[in-house]
Structure 1
Amino acid sequence: MWLSRRDLLRSVTLALGAVGAASVLGACGAATNGATPVADTTSRLPKSGGRLRAAFTGGGTAESLDPFTGQAPIDIVRNSAIFDPLFSLENGEAVGRLARLAEPAGDGRSFLLRLREGVTWHDGSPVTAQDAAYTLRYLGSPERIYPSELTGFIDFAGIEVRDVTTLHVPTVQPVGDPALILAAFMVKVIKDGTRSFTPESVNGTGPYRVTSYEAGRETRLTRFTGYWDTPGAADELVLLSLTDPQAKANAVLTGQADYTTDIPFTTAKTGAPGAGLEVRTAGERNRVGFGFVLNTTIPPFNDLRVRRAVRLALDRKALVDTVFLGFGTTGNDLFGHGAAYFSEREALRRDLEEARRLVRDAGAGGVPITIRSAEYEIGFNSSTQLAAEQLKEAGLDVRPDIVGVAEFYDPAAISAANAMTFSIGALPLPVLYARLASNPAFALTDPQLSAALAAGLGALDEPSRIKAWAQVQDVMADRGNTVVWGLADTLSLARKDVVGVESRGLAKYPYLGRAGLA
């Protein structure tokens, strides 16, 4: 299954990153001014009432109230307040929302999806299994420009409604933990028969409903008093759509907004000016892995020795200090930090002598190597340029191929490149590795890896899952094609009285359903 450009956009962290304008030509050490970020905690409870204003990276006229079309950060945040998912991803685990359970069959080739009772739509009608069935079929419809990646897991044509709260869902391969897959793909439920998503017609089950909406500018949401779970704290959410990371921070600094996330690291280093503001961190678990994926279908990265030389040649601390300005830590070459079953093994230490020997033995010295990059995450280009200089010290002729964001995910160009700059947060390992395997330029052809991946996806019990995902990461650490040099903090800027912001899935797209002012 070849990933579409939108699939790729979804698989990497979608928001513009948080590293500011630091250049590889600047100092390699971290900046020294500014206060240490405080933990972004949900321990304080908001007061009921008032208005919470938040700014997020927007997608201009491409924004949408369709929860499966709009992919800008503001789309994800907005639609998470309007629509409820079947399951949410919280601290790496699937938590039942509109669904109570997803019970796999003994062979993992199907599951029973059991819904929560007593939930109503914003129009007052009850949620039924027919709504969930319609949602899943809608996702897999070939008429959609971008059918869901769930087509690689679910047999949409075979879905059968059993009763008002139960449906039978067949799978195209063994899936031992279907709830985790549904949570990872943020499957929000839409009402049976939904054909449009205009401000007048959109109908969700979430804690907020649409009052007004203008793509690329502003959304106003009001609290839904009939919400089945903990009701929204604020009377109104105002979401501002901005295209520039610094503009988001400026919106808070100037009092136009109360909260924004994914701020530039340069802003964090400066610190929050004023007693009423603070820079927050989403914590270690919500750090985002930055690195490269090596294309093993063409030389020289089809040679294990050269892949290992890259890992040994990188000065990870210099990259963290320069690109993240110290807001993060070094990575261990495995994506998925913060997800369940992630292997917290020690990172390789820089060993230029051994890297040079491996390059010589492989005959890779002087072979032109291109690393494709774009400033899709702020810091992609500077990290690529600095890594290229470090790899040249090992005898590798690395040439950054810096392109525009619009052309970054061109399939032909990806296949022709030797490597690609990449980042991803705490995505569940089954989804993360399925996405890498689905793209020939990202995949690692290895029988042991393939067997372990299938075992991990289909495992029905915890010991089997632990064993399988350990095997997957053993292979990737030993001879894999992912090079994760750093883990970046996810930072936000907020008024001190903004509380109740939650991380459900990726921290760059927070859940505001319970947020408000203290």
Structure 2
Amino acid sequence: MPNHPGSWSPVGPAWSTSDLQAARGIYDRLMVRDENDQPVPELLDRITPNATFTAWTLELRKGVTFSDGTPLNATVVAANLNLQRLSPDASTLLAPVIFVTAPSEFTVVVATAEPWSTFPEVLTTKVGAIATVSTLTGEAATPIGTGPFVFGGYSFDGSLWLNRNPTYWKKGLPHLDSVRLIVMPDANDRVNAVLDGSVDMVAVDQPRQLTRLEEATKSNDSTVLHEDRNAEKPKVSVAFNTGRPPFDRITARRAFAMATDRTAILTQAFDGQGIISRGIISDTSPWFSDHSAPARDLEGAKKQVAEYVVETGQSVSAQMLVPPDVTLTRVATMLRVQLAEAGIDLTLIPVDPSMMVEATTSGQYQSALGLGFTAAHPDAYAPLFAGSPAEQPAVSPNITRYVNTIVTKAFTDARTTRDVTRQVDDYRIIQEQLFVDVPMVFIVQTRQVIATSRSVRDLTKWSSGSGATGLGQDEATISLAQIWKS
């Protein structure tokens, strides 16, 4: 893994890929995604809405226990969901929830102030990961879940052990006695380790290492590459603070977008690994609506810059926050050169992840380069565009401070129906409006590959508690219970 798990608690900060992979060994979720990327019950037996989608009845699977022997019941699940409502990471998303109750031992009722037909999607995320209450409150010495493995502690070399849960509720699983999670921050080291056989599995998204892996597997069949090309992929994007100059004006945002040469960035910074990003949703998604990212228009960018100068009497000059990532640093450097050709002066400001979060959520920035937008369902993005046009809270997940009533209405309308055709149209409206108003620029859709030794079996072949075939990859993570070695 690239780093140690930073948070074991489902109600803690957002999970990185390393956090999520480790958590998939310890915790189960109320719902998971099937091979068609649809939510299906896992710890739930069934989930049922009322006629207006303002109340959801969650019926739990019986006979499930936590690894410490305590039973999974409605009281524990209701406590998990109520603590999620208070967590900084999920509170905005769960704002429509007005109460969560446990009317019987295995029944939980979630009531919302407005229709939310897509609520089951939420339960496939970190919100649906269930832990003991003592884990959530920090009283437990180690994380406790219902998952296939239990926390086994750290070795002298810093590696983390997950040991088989002997009371796991899925009979016959897990196959492995233990899993050792080794931290290797450098992608080159991770690739070396899987190629020389010192580790069995690594996740890689660094472009040049992906190219190296592909070349290596052409001549050596001991390593296998796995990639779910239909899964939602991370996107490199630049967010604009539309509440502060210069990007409070659409001329500056359009100039930035027109001056950006996505093809050059994909070719040079990403070694051709990935594709040009065409918006907030991956083009393999059923929710995708094609508003193709235009080719670079340098002359058009210069005209937008000239209009900005006429409007404000100022040149277009801005700072861009850049996270500590080798590839993103290359992207930032290329953007600075490309924008300079259009008359835009871009200053790069390196920041660590915590400073990035603080600056963007508080609106104390002009533009920010980042990697994200991996939600399987567009409903998860509603908080990113929420608020009142006239007023924004001091701290908000809406980092662009962009609010458009058309976008707000489309998100709301999509939650009033289960008619996929209507929802597709609502999300088309959102993508179209974002394309027009440019609160952010999408540049490249990246690749996430899992490389394994050939002895690792059934890496992406697993079944949910409901019997459905599970989604092979969730970002760059996989289910651990079904894996075995030959």
Superposition map of 1:319-398 within 5 A: 319-335=265-281, 339-363=285-309, 366-375=315-324, 377-398=325-346
- DSSP 3-state at the match of 2:357: coil
TM alignment of 1:55-134, pairs within 5 A: 56-59=1-4, 63-69=6-12, 71-90=15-34, 91-134=36-79
**Matched residue, 2:463:** none
Q: Is the 1:134–1:191 contact (alpha carbons within 8 Å) kept by the matching residues of 2?
A: no
1:476 to 2:434 alignment: yes
Find the counterpart in structure 2 of residue 415 from structure 1: 363
Q: Offset at 1:306?
A: 2.9
Q: Decide whether the 8 Å contact of 1:65 with 1:198 is kept in 2.
A: no
1:244 to 177, 186, 202: 186
Task: Rate the CA distance shift 1:304–1:467 in 2: closer, same or farther, 3 A.
Answer: same
Aligned pair 1:513/2:454, yes or no?
A: no
Aligned residues: 455
Q: CA 1:213–1:134 in 2, change beyond 3 Å: closer, same or farther?
A: farther
The one-letter code of the counterpart of 1:168 is V
| Superposed CA offset, 1:194-229 (max 9, x none) | 555756x54321122233346992222233344333
Write the mapping of 1:77-476 to structure 2, written as runs, cut at 5 A: 77-90=21-34, 91-141=36-86, 146-150=87-91, 152-153=93-94, 158-192=99-133, 194=135, 195-196=137-138, 202-213=143-154, 217-229=158-170, 231-270=173-212, 271-272=215-216, 274-283=220-229, 285-335=231-281, 339-363=285-309, 366-375=315-324, 377-411=325-359, 415-427=363-375, 428-437=377-386, 438-476=396-434
| CA deviations over 1:38-91 (Å, ceiling 9, x no partner) | xxxxxxxxxxxxxxxxxx1223xx744434437343332122112100112455
Which of 437, 446, 449 is the matching residue for 1:491?
A: 449
Assess if the C-alpha contact under 8 Å between 2:280 and 2:373 holds in 1: no
Q: TM-score, normalised by structure 2?
A: 0.84
Change (3 A) 1:317 1:279: same
**Residue identity matched to 2:62:** E
Q: 1:509 to 1:453 in 2, by over 3 A?
A: same
Flag the 1:338–1:184 CA change in 2: closer, same or farther, 3 A: farther
Q: How far apart, in 2, do the equivalents of 1:369 and 1:64 lie?
A: 34
Aligned to 1:16: none
State the shift of 1:154 in Å.
5.2
CA contact (8 A) 2:237 2:440 kept: yes
Q: Deviations over 1:317-364 (max 9, x none)?
A: 111111211111111133455555122443212222222222222327
Higher RCO, Cα 8 Å, sep 6+: 1
Check conservation: 2:274, 2:447, Cα contact below 8 A: yes
8 Å CA contact retained: 1:498, 1:515: yes
Aligned pairs for 1:9-28 within 5 A: none
Unaligned runs of 5+ in 2: 387-395, 461-470
**Would the alpha carbon gap of residues 89 and 165 (structure 1) be closer, same or farther in structure 2, given more than 3 Å must change?**
same
Q: Would the aligned equivalents of 1:175 and 1:458 in 2 still touch at CA under 8 Å?
A: yes
Q: Give the distance between the partners of 1:367 and 1:96, measured in 2 at CA.
A: 51
Report what 2:466 is aligned to: none
1:476 alignment partner AA: L
Tell me the alpha carbon deviations over residues 417-444 of structure 1, each in whole angstroms, 9 at most, x when there is no partner.
3211122143121112423544354232
Find the residue that maps to 1:324 and give its secondary structure.
coil
Shift of 1:475: 0.7
For residues 123-153 of structure 1, the C-alpha deviation after alignment (integer angstroms, 9 at most, x for no partner) is 4444221221121123334xxxx54414542
CA-CA distance at 1:260 after TM superposition: 0.5
Q: Would the alpha carbon gap of residues 63 and 402 (structure 1) be closer, same or farther in structure 2, given more than 3 Å must change? A: closer
* Counterpart contact for 1:334–1:477, Cα < 8 Å: no
**DSSP 3-state at the match of 2:315:** coil
Q: CA deviation at 1:166?
A: 1.2
Given that 1:291 and 1:423 are in contact with CA atoms closer than 8 Å, whether structure 2 keeps it comes out as yes
> 5+ residue gaps in structure 1?
1-55
TM-score by length of 1: 0.79
Q: How many angstroms apart in 1 are the aligned matches of 2:427 and 2:29?
A: 26
Q: How far apart in 1 are the matches of 2:130 and 2:58?
A: 13
Partner Cα separation in structure 1 for residue 196 and residue 251 of structure 2? 53
Is residue 74–residue 241 contact of structure 1 (8 Å, CA) maintained in 2? no
Does the C-alpha gap of structure 1 residues 294 and 98 become closer, same or farther in structure 2, counting only changes over 3 Å?
same
Give the match's secondary structure for 2:245: coil
Instruction: Please give the alpha-carbon distance, in whole angstroms, between the structure 1 residues aligned to 2:91 and 2:221.
Output: 47
Where does residue 392 of structure 2 map in the other structure? none
After TM superposition, the structure 1 stretch with the greater mean CA deviation from structure 2, 105-114 or 312-321, is 105-114
Distance 1:353 1:155 in 2: 46
**Is residue 339–residue 426 contact of structure 1 (8 Å, CA) maintained in 2?**
no
Q: C-alpha distance in 2, partners of 1:333/1:388?
A: 21
Q: 1:463 to 1:281 in 2, by over 3 A?
A: closer
Asked if the contact 1:217/1:242 (under 8 Å) is kept, the reply is no
- Name the SS for the 1:242 alignment partner: coil
